[in-house]
A and B are shown apart, each in its own frame.
Chain A
Amino acid sequence: MGTQVKDVIIKPDAPNSLLLDKHADYIAAYGSKKDDYEYTLSEYLRMSGIYWGLTVMDLMDQLPRMNRQEIIDFIKSCQHECGGISASIGHDPHLLYTLSAVQILSLYDDVDAIDVDKVVEYVKGLQQEDGSFAGDKWGEIDTRFSFCAVATLALLGKMDAINVDKAVEFVLSCMNFDGGFGCRPGSESHAGQIYCCTGFLSLTGQLHQVNADLLGWWLCERQLPSGGLNGRPEKLPDVCYSWWVLASLKIIGRIHWIDKAKLRLFILACQDEETGGFADRPGDMVDPFHTLFGIAGLSLLGDETIKGVNPVLCMPEDVLQRVSLQPELLS
């Protein structure tokens, strides 16, 4: 019985150069199909969808092609009485979409379009006694929400609104023997959660609490022979996990531990030459989510035709400079 390595094979005719124009056209056209069944299906995460689209457009220096006023009006109508922001009109507010909205408004340099004090109150109100954060008023706890909370407050320059020490304590309680992090204490390490937790520790200035060599080791083991990265052992490689692993490695100063050239080829192979956009793996259907993480990954790998991306917030570096936010990175 042979071993079936869980990986993809990149075909010789797979795209190997970056098709920036195609990607910009793909994103610009994406929002116009609003009656689409798929569009209804994904409305519950619309605010994040807009953040993905706008950020990738900004990284490609194409932000002016998007309808700024329409988007800002939309965000305003998604802020609720409690201060939290929902994915779309009529949906319930949640930390996930509150962060996305604040990220979008930061791209547009217009956070005052919403009631910032109320956002801060909302975030503060979701912190629990043990330092963790609930995603919304219903109380689900996850390290992702700890990241959303501090990222939102960092962008608004209001980190002091919460108990940072307690928040750090909770995130550290989710650290595992392999140096990674899970969603709650005792949960399995997962590249997406690791990104959130290292990003959280960066924003709170606590990266020295990470065992960078041990975590770096685990993250490097995510690289497969195809060059792509997976999010956990024996999972398939995926463009979005490539971003989360790569960004985490950048945050803890170990990005040089993986084979960058091979990863670049994997990401390029995930482009659709006809429609534009990136898929999770070569040959699959493209979407804005993987398109952002494909472009952002190439930026972290040093592609100079794309703007520099910040590994912690997944936003253009020039935007963060404007708000004077420079999250800590290990060297």
Chain B
Amino acid sequence: MAESEEEVDVLVQRVVKDITNAFKRNPNIDEIGVIPCPEARYNRSPIVLVENKLGVESWCVKFLLPYVHNKLLLYRQRKHWLDREALVDITCTLLLLNPDFTTAWNVRKELLQCGVLNPEKDLYLGKLALTKFPKSPETWIHRRWVLQKILRQSSAAGCRKQQQQQQQDEAEQADVGRSQQLSDHLARTLHQEMRVCSDAAGRYPSNYNAWSHRIWVLQHMAMGNIKVFHDELSSMRLWVSMHVSDHSGFHYRQFLLKEVITELSHSSGNSGSPEHRSSTVLSSSPNHHSHSQANGELSGAEAADEVENQLGLSAVFQLFHQEMELCTDLIQSFPGHETLWSHRRHVFYLWHHWRRKHQHHHCNSTNGGSNSVHLNDSEPGLQKPAVQGSEDEEVVNRQRPAGEDMEVDRASLPDSRDSKRLKRGACPPTLPLEHSFVSRILDSCCNPEQRRFALAYRKWLDTVIGQQP
């Protein structure tokens, strides 16, 4: 290298300043990147700002990175002093070039703790790093830490508000306003987080870190907020249809389905005790139905519950039905995608478990009375509930217009031997239906991958599902 140590020192300090100034000049920078440029040209800064894109010319990275890297490590070993402003600038440059440098994120955590940085600034830095390194595990880990800090701050503010409210009623109005601000802020943060995840998922297919972060965000910032889950499920429908190889995106959809189904099952059996809404695992959620109907007699309130119950169950049927139909459409339109077959397994498994869990309850609760819902898949033709609704309707059980037929009625069941009805009717999945789906694929498709996946699915139905009690 021709450059002397001093020259490098001057150069790098200027570049770090240029980066800081670029952010000051344009607070809306939304993407970073390296501009291939093996040698320095002209006498100008290697930092290029075009519209909202920040680029660094590649020739300077090999000076820049080791320099800021070593500076920070010397500081960490207390061999070199850096003031707070310099720390902010150096960690920023360092993390945009090497976002998996854990210790640099930790330095920023300390700066956050003492109030030098604010959480929004760090979420923004992470967002930019993810535009160039969409998988970077340490960037996602730091985001979760920052989000938890925001959550803690707002719950502490919530507690203070409650205490104040008890003391002085006249302050109530102002407190309501503050509380509204707080929840608006959290809603905005949640929304922004979803956007960051979508962006990273678009930049790198089957991005495990982006999708598992998205699940974490819902688990920590949206549990019990069923509208968020419905909206996510709704918007994911188009996304998965356009990313039929993205197993992680489909897994996220499976997570949403499970949560929404758990919620629907709970709200149908137990209108509204909030602690029951936080269960994340369908199979481990407590049974919310058994307690009210032990004696088989229904009081007025219980009868009303029973109607609610039916609505919830119908909504669950509808959801499963629509999901299997989506799955069928995608498998037929895009043959040979393992992700789609894996999704089918998961959805069928969810259904199978839900059915086993609720079958028992339902026999007890209706006491053989109305007998309107059968959940037995051994006779597909006779016992399918027909829930009629718009086929494209994604979100169910949200303010359903009065009069829309949600009855689950044996008399209106479609004939099982009518294959069109089998395909189009709003029936939940059954083992025989799945077998005939596989046969149809095998009869009509000569794509070898598609056939391989169809055969594997059949084997899975026979061994994994078929051998369960």
Tell yes or no: A89 within 8 A of B by CB: yes
A257 to chain B, nearest CB (A): 13
- Whether B281 and A185, one on each chain, are in contact in the complex, defined by CB atoms closer than 8 angstroms, is yes
A274: Cβ under 8 A from any B Cβ = no
Q: Which of B219, B338, B350, B460 sits near A186, CB closer than 8 Å?
A: B219
User: Is there an interface contact between A234 and B349, defined as CB atoms closer than 8 Å?
Assistant: no
Q: Who on chain B is nearest to A90 by CB?
A: B73
Q: Verify if A43 is at the interface (C-beta below 8 Å from B).
A: yes
For the complex, give the distance between the alpha carbons of A234 and B342 in Å: 10
When distances are taken between beta carbons in the complex, the residues of chain B under 8 Å from A37 are 61-62, 65-66
Q: 8 A-B pairs, CB-CB below 8 angstroms?
A: A1-B334, A3-B335, A41-B98, A90-B73, A92-B76, A182-B212, A217-B460, A234-B245
A177 CB contacts on chain B under 8 angstroms: 345-346, 349-350
CB distance from A178 to the nearest CB of B (A): 7
Given known A-B contacts A44-B98, A44-B102, A177-B349, A188 and B248 have beta carbons under 8 A apart: yes
In the complex, whether B145 has a CB less than 8 A from a CB of chain A is yes
The closest CB in chain A to the CB of B215 belongs to A186
A185–B103 Cα gap in the complex (Å)? 27
Question: Per-residue CB proximity of B338-374 to A under 8 Å, as 1/0?
Answer: 1100100110011000000000000000000000000
A139 and B342 CA atoms in complex are apart in Å by: 33
Which residue of B77, B208, B337 is within 8 Å of A232 (Cβ)?
Answer: B208
- The reply on B183 being an interface residue by CB < 8 A is no
Chain A residues closer than 8 Å to B65, beta-carbon distance: 37, 40-41
Task: Name the distance in Å between A40's Cβ and chain B's nearest Cβ.
Answer: 5
**Interface hits, A194-238 → B, CB 8 Å:** 214, 217, 221, 232-235
Bound CA–CA A87/B100 (angstroms): 12
Residue A5 CB within 8 A of the other chain: yes
**Nearest-CB distance from A176 to chain B (Å)?**
9
B276 at the A/B interface (Cβ < 8 Å)?
no
Find out whether the CB atom of B219 lies under 8 angstroms from the CB atom of A233: no
A92 and B102: CB pair below 8 A?
yes
Whether B336 lies near A3 (C-beta < 8 A) is yes
| SS class, residues of chain A in contact with chain B | loop
Kindly identify which residue among B61, B145, B349 contacts A139, using a CB–CB cutoff of 8 Å: B145
| CB proximity to A under 8 Å, residues B90-118 | 98, 100-103, 106, 109
Q: How far is the CA of A5 from the CA of B335 in the complex (A)?
A: 11
Q: Is the CB of B247 within 8 A of A90?
A: no
Contact B100 A5 (CB under 8 A): no
**With A43-B69, A138-B106 known to touch, is A183 a contact of B449 (CB < 8 Å)?**
no
Q: Complex formed: what's the CA distance from A234 to B219 in Å?
A: 27
Q: Which residues of A contact B246 (CB under 8 A)?
A: 234
Looking at the complex, which one of A5, A89, A188 makes contact with B211 (CB distance below 8 Å)? A188
The 5 closest A-B pairs by CB, nearest first: A3-B336, A90-B73, A188-B251, A233-B338, A187-B212
A6 to B246, CA, bound (A): 12
For residue A11, give the distance in angstroms from its CB to the closest CB of chain B. 22
Interface string of B213-252 (1 = CB under 8 A from A): 0011001000000000000000000000000011110010
- Residues of A within 8 Å of B345, CB to CB, are 177-178
Nearest chain-A residue to B342 (Cβ)? Answer: A233
The reply to whether B339 and A233 form a contact with Cβ atoms under 8 Å apart is yes
Most buried by B among A37, A138, A234: A234
Contact B73 A234 (CB under 8 A): no
Contacts of A90 in B (CB 8 A): 73-74, 76-77, 103
Q: How far is the CB of B123 from chain A (nearest CB, A)?
A: 16
Instruction: Report the Cα distance A92→B77, complex, angstroms.
Output: 10
Cβ of A129 under 8 Å from chain B: no
Q: B145–A140 contact, CB under 8 A?
A: yes
Residue of A whose beta carbon sits closest to that of B65 = A40
Minimal Cβ-Cβ distance residue in B for A179: B464
B456 at interface by CB-CB < 8 Å: yes
Asked whether any CB of chain B lies closer than 8 Å to the CB of A124, the reply is no
The answer to whether A186 and B280 touch across the interface, beta carbons within 8 angstroms, is yes
A234 with B247: CB separation less than 8 A: yes
* B contact residues around A178 at 8 Å (CB): 342, 345-346
Would you give the shortest CB distance from B216 to chain A, in whole angstroms? 7
Q: Convert A20-50 into 0s and 1s, putting 1 for each residue whose CB lies closer than 8 angstroms to a CB of B.
A: 0000000000000000010011011100000
A92-B102, A233-B338 in contact; A185/B280 too (CB < 8 A)? yes
Please name all residues of chain B whose beta carbon is closer than 8 Å to the beta carbon of A183 when the two chains form the complex.
212
Residues in A neighbouring B208, C-beta threshold 8 A: 188, 190, 232
At the interface, yes or no: B206 with Cβ under 8 Å from chain A? yes
Q: Is the CB of A91 within 8 A of B245?
A: no
**Nearest-CB distance from B229 to chain A (Å)?**
13
Q: Is A184 an interface residue, CB under 8 A from the partner?
A: yes
B103 touches A91 (CB 8 A): yes
User: What residues of chain A lie closer than 8 Å to B281, measured between beta carbons?
Assistant: 173, 185-186
A94 contacts chain B at the CB level, 8 A cutoff: yes
Known: A44-B98, A138-B109, A234-B247. A186 touches B456 (CB 8 A): no
Query: Bound complex: CA of A237 vs CA of B277, how far in Å?
Result: 40
A44 to B107, CA, bound (A): 14
Shortest C-beta distance, B69 to chain A (Å), equals 5
Nearest-neighbour CB distance to chain A for B334, whole angstroms, equals: 8
Q: Mark B42-68, 1 if CB is under 8 A from A, else 0.
A: 000000000000000000011001100
Residues from chain A with Cβ under 8 Å of B86 in the complex: none
